[in-house]
Amino acid sequence: MTRKQKKTLIRIIVAAVLLIAVVVLDHSTVRLWLPEWLRLPFAVRVPGQDVSGNFVTGDYLPVGWLYLIPYVVIGWDILWKAIRNIGHGQVFDENFLMCVATVGALVLGEYSEAVGVMLFYQVGELFQSYAVGKSRRSIAQLMDIRPDSANVERDGQIVEVDPDEVAVGETIVIRPGEKIPLDGIVLEGASSLDTAALTGESAPRDVAAGSELLSGCVNITGLLKAQVTKEFGQSTVAKILDLVENASSKKAKAENFITKFARYYTPAVVFSALALAVIPSLVTGDWSVWVHRALTFLVISCPCALVISIPLSFFGGIGGASAQGILVKGGNYLELLANTETVVFDKTGTLTQGVFELSVLNPAPGVTERELLETAALAERHSGHPIAQSLRRALGGEADPSRVTDVQEIPGHGISALVDGKRVLAGNEKLMTREGIKALPCSQAGTVVHVAREGRYLGCAVISDRLKPTAPAAVQALKQRGVRTVMLTGDSQAVGEAVAAQLGLDEVHAQLLPADKVDRLEELLGRKGEKGVLAYVGDGVNDAPVLSRADVGIAMGAMGSDAAIEAADVVLMDDDPAKLANAMNIARKCMRIVRENIVFALGVKGLCLILGALGMASMWVAVFADVGVAVIAILNATRMLKAKE
C-alpha cells in the first residue's frame, strides 16, 4: 500500500473504534459528573431534573454529540473537497452527495447512520485506490524499461550521459545487468538479452556481432559494444512509453457513456431528493419523515459504483495486457477487439517468419543441382533481395566475386549477369519468355527462380518462407471463437493458397500491391455485420495504409518496426500470432465485467431508490446500495488484473 493508502486505513480504523465506543456509550447508562458551566448547554428533560431544567448531581446526560468526533476524523477531507469543488463551480459530485446526506442525517438525529455512511464510503474509496494501484504496477513494470543513462565511448574513454545526448552513429557499451539505452547494432561481444519487458516472454534472446539491439531489453551475460542507429526520441523504448502514457486518453464508448451519465444523473437525483423532501411534507406536514427519506434517497443514488468500476475495468484490461507484451492504445480498442468478427492477416512476417530458404531444386536434364545452384547464386551475387540472399546461403561459403561481371537488374523480371564470361539469366517466368527461352513448369509452392545460361535453360529453384510455429494454433483459436480469417498477400496465387490450406484460413487473396490491399480491405469492410469489427494484422512496414483503414490495426513483429507502433491500435511486442487470441480474450473478459457492473449497480440502486422513496429502506440499506455496491463492483473489476481466463 502507498503512504496515502496507509493513512486512510489508519483513519478508517480509528474512526471505526471511536464509533463503536460512542455507540456503546449511547446505549448504556452512563453517569457523567460535569461542572455546571459544561453540563448546562446539554441539559434535557430526564428523571431527576429540577423544574428549571438544570441537572442535579448523578443525573444522566445523552452523548449524541460525541458522534461528531468519529464523523470529523473520517469525513473531514470529503467535506473539504465538497466545499472546494463548489467554489470551483463543480457542485454535483459524489462528495456533495455524501456531505448533504450525512449532515442531514446528523441534523435529524441519525448519528450512527451518518458516521457509518461516511466510514463505508471511505472504505470504498480505499478499495478503489488499491485496485487502481495494483493495475498501475503492471504498467509500471513496463514503464521501468526507460534507461537512466548510456555509456558512450568518446575519445577512448567511457562517458556516462543521458540517453537523449547520444547521437546516431556513436558507440555505446552495455555491461551485464544494464538496460539497453538506445536501438543499435552489435559491433563486438555476445550475450543473452532479457526481452520480457517488451514481449512478455521469459526466454532470453541471444545476440552477437551484427545482431540488432532494441532499447528497453536487459543485457544478461556478456559485455556488448553497439553502434547507435536511432536517437532516443525515435527509439523503441521511447515510442512504447509514449504509447502507454497516452492509452488512458482514448476512452471506450462505455466509459464515455458513464461520464455523460454521471454528468446528468447526479443533479437529477439531487433535485429529485429535494422534491421528495418538500412536496410530500407540504401535503402531510410531516417534514422529518420525508426529509429523512430524501437523505436516504441521496445516499442510495451516489453513482460511485459506475464512475469508479467501469474505468477501472478498462484500465485493468490495458495493464493486464501489457504484462503479456500486448500494448493497447486505449479502452476503445479493447471494446472493438471484443466485437471482432473478421481478422485479416498479412502473410510475410505475420503468419510466416519472413526468412526465405531454398526448398526445391529442379535441374533440367544433364544439369546437376550443384551447377544450377552455383550459377543462380553467382548471378544474384550483388543483389540485396531476400531471395538472392537465400540462394547465397544455400550455396555456402563466399563465391568469388571476380567471376561475376556486367550485372544488370531487370525490374519486375530478375537479373542478367556475366558469370565466367557467359550470359546468365535468373528471374521469373516473364524473363524467360522475354528472352525466348522455354521454362519448364514448376508446381511447388513458393517463389520460383528460373535460370538460363547462354540461351540454354538450366532449371529452377523454389524459395519458400516458413510458417511461424504458433501460426496454425493462432488461426485455430480464432476460428473456435467464431472469427472469420482472411489473408491478403502480394505473393503468387499458388503460394497464397498453399499457406491458406496449411493454416485452414477461410479466404485468401494473392498477388496484391499495397493499393490493392486497401481496395480488398474496403470490400471486406462492406461485407461485415453492422456491429461487427474487422481487424487487420500486419508487420507494420508495408501495411501502414491498411492498418490505419481497418477498424482495429494490430501490428505484428513490432520489435524494430517504427511503422507498426505509429499506425497500429494494438501492438504485439513479439512475433507470436497466438497473442492475438490472448488479446481478444482480455477484451471480451473486460467487456463482460463492464456489463456485469452496469447491470448490477443500476439494478440494485433502482430497487433501493424505490424502497427509499417509499420509506421501506433505512439509511443502512442506503449505505449498502452506495458503498456496498461500489465495493462489489470494484472487486469484480479487479478480476481484469488477471489477464488470462
Q: Band of the pLDDT at 46, cuts 50, 70, 90?
A: very low
Active site residues: 346
pLDDT band at 479 (very low <50, low <70, confident <90, very high): very high
Least confident interval from 40-49, 183-192, 232-241 = 40-49
Higher pLDDT, 135 or 340: 340
Q: Which of 33-47, 377-391, 613-627 shows the highest mean pLDDT?
A: 377-391
Judge if 150-181+183-229 and 354-466 fold alike in CATH terms. no
Tell me the C-alpha distance between 157 and 502, whole Å: 55
Would you state the torsion angle of the CA atoms of residues 591, 595, 597, 599, taken in this order, to the nearest 10 degrees?
180
Distances (CA, A) of 133 to 62, 139, 163: 43, 10, 29
Around Cβ 20, how many Cβ atoms within 10 Å?
A: 12
Q: What mean pLDDT is reported for the chain?
A: 78
pTM: 0.64
314 within 8 A of 594, measured Cβ to Cβ: yes
What is residue 185's predicted lDDT score, i.e. its pLDDT? 92
Asked if residue 634 has pLDDT above 70, the reply is yes
Architecture of the domain made up of 354-466: 3-Layer(aba) Sandwich (3.40)
Q: What are the phi and psi torsion angles at 218 (to 5°)?
A: -110, 130
Task: For residue range 194-206, list pLDDT tens digits in order.
Answer: 876 666 555 678 8
- Alpha carbon distance 467, 357 (integer Å): 12
Q: Is the pLDDT confidence value at 430 over 50?
A: yes
Give the CATH number of domain 331-351+468-568: 3.40.50.1000
Can you say how many angstroms the Cα of residue 19 is from the centroid of all Cα atoms in its chain? Answer: 43
What local confidence, expressed as pLDDT, does residue 241 receive? 59
Res 542 pLDDT > 80: no
Report whether pLDDT(44) > 90: no
Nearest CA to 240 among 211, 274, 215?
215
Which grid cell sits at 441?
Answer: 513448369
**Coil, strand, or helix at residue 57?**
coil
Q: How much of the chain, in percent, has pLDDT values that exceed 70?
A: 78
Mean pLDDT of 366-372: 90
For residues 42 and 105, which has the higher predicted lDDT (pLDDT)? 105
Task: Concatenate the DSSP letters of all residues of 206-222 into one string.
Answer: EE-TT-EE-TT-EE-SS
Supply the DSSP symbol for 385: S
User: Can you tell me the distance from the alpha carbon of 353 to that of 17, in angstroms, rounded to the nearest whole number?
Assistant: 64
For residue range 591-603, what is the model confidence (pLDDT) as tens digits? 898 888 888 888 8
Distance CA 399, CA 186 (A): 26
Cβ-contact 302, 100 below 8 angstroms: no
Residue 513 pLDDT greater than 90, yes or no: no
CATH of 150-181+183-229, one of 3.30.390.10, 2.120.10.30, 2.70.150.10, 3.90.1150.10: 2.70.150.10
Other CB atoms within 10 Å distance of the CB of residue 192: 16
Q: Where are the domains of the chain?
A: 150-181+183-229, 331-351+468-568, 354-466
Q: What is the pLDDT confidence band of residue 450, given thresholds at 50, 70 and 90?
A: very high
Round to whole Å and give the CA distance between 537 and 554.
5
User: Quick check: 169 pLDDT over 70?
Assistant: yes
How confident is residue 186, by pLDDT bands cut at 50, 70 and 90? very high
Over residues 356-380, the mean pLDDT reads: 87
pLDDT higher than 90, residue 530: no
pLDDT, position 411:
76
Average pLDDT (377-389) is 80
Residue 476 clears pLDDT 70, i.e. is over it: yes
The residue among 562 and 456 whose pLDDT is bigger is 456
Stretch (H or E) spanning 172? strand 171-174
C-alpha cell of residue 285: 406536514
Q: What is the spatial distance between Cα 187 and Cα 172, in angstroms, rounded to a whole number? A: 10
- Amino acid code (one letter) for 150: A
Most confident of the ranges 81-85, 140-144, 264-268, 634-638: 81-85
Q: Of 1-15, 147-161, 607-621, which range is least confident?
A: 607-621
C-alpha 306/C-alpha 360 separation (Å) is 62
By the 8 A CB rule, do 503 and 509 touch? no
Please tell me the distance from the alpha carbon of residue 382 to that of residue 543, in angstroms, as a whole number: 28
Helix (H) / strand (E) element for 362: namely strand 352-363
- The 8-class DSSP code of residue 68 comes to H
User: Which backbone phi and psi does 26 adopt, to 5 degrees?
Assistant: -70, -25
> For 276-320, what is each residue's pLDDT tens digit?
888 988 888 888 788 878 877 777 776 666 666 777 778 778 877
